[in-house]
Structure 1
Amino acid sequence: MDLDLTYPALSDLRAKAKRRIPHFAFEYLDSGTGRELQVQRNRDALDAVLFRPDILPGKIDPDLSTHFMGADYARPFGIAPLGMSGLMWPGMERILAGFAQEQRIPYGLSTVATRLPEEIGPIAGDMGWFQLYCPADPEIRRDMLARAKASGFTKLVLTVDVPDDSRRERQRRAKLTLPPKITPRVIWEVLSHPQWSLGTLREGSPRLRLPESYLNQTEARSSLAHAGHIIRGAPGWDTLKILREEWQGDLIIKGVLCTDVAKRLMSEGVDALWVSNHTGRQFEAGPATITELSSIRAAVGPQVPILFDSGVASGLDVMRALALGADFVMLGRAWHYAVGALGKAGPGHLMHILTDDMKLNMAQIGAHRLADLSKRLI
């Protein structure tokens, strides 16, 4: 099969993944919150970022390798952390972490992944980043940090845009619980997706393994209800100060949308800002992430490392973010669609799609280097 002809775009991978993943799991991956207006707002705002084409630029063969925060990466994009990753496809964390190490792009492991840092850190190697939902218990927090560090994770990503749950109505309509309750509907969905089901039998039921490791055996039987309390820390500015002292390494703050907050974060000693609205999964009535990016860049200056996510669906979208001030772009859902569609072959094909799209579009606008992108904005 010629993957480039069968699955030429991320939308094709998404459509295939939707057929191969049980409905309750796909809804967790794919849904936003409310009427999903924020999801559409992200898409519309990205589409509104335009470049001026060029002619007679000569041969264009851009180098997409990127030096970012002291490390060399093969591309200016990476794999964002996504909670319950292994629910979408059995073994997802291992597949993506191994791919990231092989291809030299960053991989983010979530606090609420289905595998432990000790399992995934050695696979990701020096490409591993650990994303933290900060626990209220300081002893648990310190132990999580120690385990992440000992497992080889090089950067800590503190997610700050989840002060509470969001309703995510699509997930509720899909009757999603974690772990899934055994109902006739769930049994049918599992039986009608045999590859997912057989893989899940091999991997074990998707669970919040890191939070669960701090519970006793009785509490762990109701994974989400009890393990969820472990990560409901409601961190404040004082928490950030403590975390900055406790983590000896790069500290990235994920979920930044305000210039004043961005400047204060830098004064508190963080190392990088991650501009994100959680891809519309948390709050429906906020701004599109891409519309805030350039003002945040202007507020903190050219030297502060900035990452971007939220709705990136193509190499052209990566270019848009880089042109408006991001140094690095992260995708979460996209990699999970790819694995859900094609298994272990999925990440490589998605990387090809993104790379080819970037190179061809850079030729269209006469951009020989990534640094040229901003000059071609309209």
Structure 2
Amino acid sequence: MDLDLTYPAVSDLRARARRRIPHFAFEYLDSGTGTELQVARNRQALDDVLFLPDILPGRVAPDFTTRFMGTDYARPFGIAPLGMSGLMWPGAEAILARFAQAARIPYAISTVATRLPEEIGPLSGDMGWFQLYCPADAGIRRDMLRRARDSGFTKLILTVDVPDDSRRERQRRAKLTLPPKITPRVIWEILTHPRWSLGTLKVGQPRLRLPESYLDRVESLSSLAHAGHIIRGAPDWDTLKALRSEWDRDFLVKGVMCPDAAKRLVSEGVDAIWVSNHSGRQFEPGPAAITQLPMIRDAVGPDMPLLFDSGVSSGMDVLRALALGANFVMLGRAWHYAVAALGDAGPAHLMHILTDDMQLNMAQIGTHALSDLPRRLIRQASNS
């Protein structure tokens, strides 16, 4: 099968993933919150970022190798953390971690992954980053940091845009619970997706393995149903200070949309700021993430490392974010569509899609280097 002809875009991978995995798993991966206006707003604002094409640029063969925070990556994009990855496809965390190490792009594992940092860290090697949902218990927090450090993760990502749960109505309609409740509907979905089911049987039921490993430390919490409560802290600026003192490697803060907050993060000593609205999964009536990116760049100055995610679904979107001030771009859903659609072959095909799209569009724009993109912008994202 010629993957480039059969699945030429992320939307094609999404469509195949939808057919290959149970409905409740797809809804977890694909859904936003509310009526998904924020998801649509992210998409529209990215589409509003336009470039003036040039002519006669000669041969355009850009070097996409990107030095970011002292490390050379093969591309200016990587794999964002996504909770319960193994629900989307059995062994997804291991598949993505191995690929990231081989391809030399970053892979960020979530606190609520279905595999432990000790399992995934050796697979991702020096490409591994660790995302933290900060526990209320300081002892558990410090132990999680120790385990991430000992497992080889080079960067800590504190996610700050999840102060509480979001409704995510599509997930509720799909009857998704953690752990999954065995109902006739769930049984039917499992039976009608045999590849997913056999793979899950082989690697084990998706579980919140890292939080679950601390159940014996918390009084009254004795089942997986309560494991999520371990990570439901309420981090504040004092928590940030504590984390900065406890983690001696690169410290990133993810979920920043406010320029004033970004400036304060710089003064608190964080090493990078990650502009994101959680891809529309947490809060519906907010601005598109891409509209905030130039304002945050202006607020923090030219030297502060900035990452971007939220709605990125093509190489063109990667170029848009880079042109508007990001140093690096992360994608979450897209990599999981790829794994769910094509298994082990998925990540390499997605990397090809993104890379080819970037190169071909840069030829149209007439830019030979990523640093030239801003001068060809003709319209920045609107505040729609």
Global fold match (TM > 0.5)? yes
Deviations along 1:295-338, one digit per CA (max 9) or x if unpaired, are 10011111000000000000000000000000000000000000
Q: Is 1:194 the counterpart of 2:190 in the alignment?
A: no
Contact 1:97 1:128 in 2 (8 A): yes
1:63-102 alignment, distance < 5 Å? 63-102=63-102
Q: Distance in 1 between matches of 2:76 and 2:267?
A: 26
Distance 1:258 1:274 in 2: 11
Q: Name structure 1 gaps, 5 residues minimum.
A: none
Q: Is the 8 A contact 1:66 1:74 kept in 2?
A: yes
Q: Secondary structure at the match of 2:130?
A: strand
Q: Which runs of 5+ in 2 are unaligned?
A: 379-384
Tell me the equivalent position of 2:148: 148
Give the residue type in structure 1 aligned to 2:94: R
Q: 1:60-105 CA distances to partner (integer Å, 9 max, x unpaired)?
A: 1000010000100000000000000100000000000000000000
Q: TM-score, normalised by structure 1?
A: 0.99
Q: Residue 209 in 1 paired to residue 195 in 2?
A: no
TM-score by structure 2 length?
Answer: 0.97
| Paired residue type of 1:234 | A
Letter in 1 for 2:327: D
Runs of 4+, deviation exceeding 2 Å? 216-222
- Once residues 300 and 244 of structure 1 are traced to their aligned partners in structure 2, the CA distance between those partners, rounded to angstroms, is 19
**Counterparts of 2:312 and 2:21, CA distance in 1:** 21
3-state SS of paired residue (1:63): coil
In 2, Cα distance between equivalents of 1:159 and 1:151: 20
TM-aligned CA deviation for residue 216 of structure 1: 2.9
Q: Is the 8 A contact 1:219 1:226 kept in 2?
A: no
Give, in angstroms, the shift of residue 178 of structure 1: 1.3
- Contact 1:212–1:220, Cα closer than 8 Å, also in 2: no
* 1:216 alignment partner, SS class: helix
Q: Residue 239 of structure 1: CA displacement?
A: 0.4
SS at structure 1 position matched to 2:215: coil
| Residue-by-residue CA offset, 1:99-118 (whole Å, 9 max, x unaligned) | 00000000000000000000
Matched, 1:134 2:134: yes
Counterpart secondary structure, 1:161: coil
Call closer, same or farther: CA 1:221–1:28 in 2, change over 3 Å: farther
Task: Tell me, in whole angstroms, the C-alpha distance in 2 between the residues paired with 1:44 and 1:229.
Answer: 35
SS at match of 1:251: strand
Amino acid at match of 2:293: L
**In structure 1, C-alpha distance between the alignment counterparts of 2:323 and 2:236, rounded to whole Å:** 32
Counterpart of 1:168, as a letter, is R
Aligned residues: 377
Q: Structure 1 counterpart of 2:337, which letter?
A: Y
Tell me by how many angstroms 1:228 deviates. 1.1
Give the percent of matched residue pairs that are identical in Structure 1 and Structure 2: 79
Residues 1:27 and 2:24 aligned together: no
Match of 1:366 in 2: 366
| d(CA) in 2 for partners of 1:175, 1:271 | 40
Counterparts of 1:348-367 in structure 2 under 5 Å?
Answer: 348-367=348-367
Structure 2 match to 1:246: 246
Residue 262 (structure 1) aligned with residue 278 (structure 2): no
Residue 289 of structure 2: aligned partner: 289
1:347 and 2:343 correspond:
no
Please tell me whether the aligned partners of residues 105 and 127 of structure 1 are also in contact (alpha carbons under 8 angstroms): yes
Post-superposition CA distance 1:254-311 (Å, at most 9, x none): 0000110000000000000000000000000000000000010011111000000000
> What is the Cα-based RMSD across aligned positions, in Å?
1.1
CA deviations 1:128-179 (Å, max 9, x no partner) are 0000000000100000000000000000000000000000000000000112
8 Å Cα contact 1:305/1:327 also seen in 2: yes
Q: Does 1:166 align with 2:193?
A: no
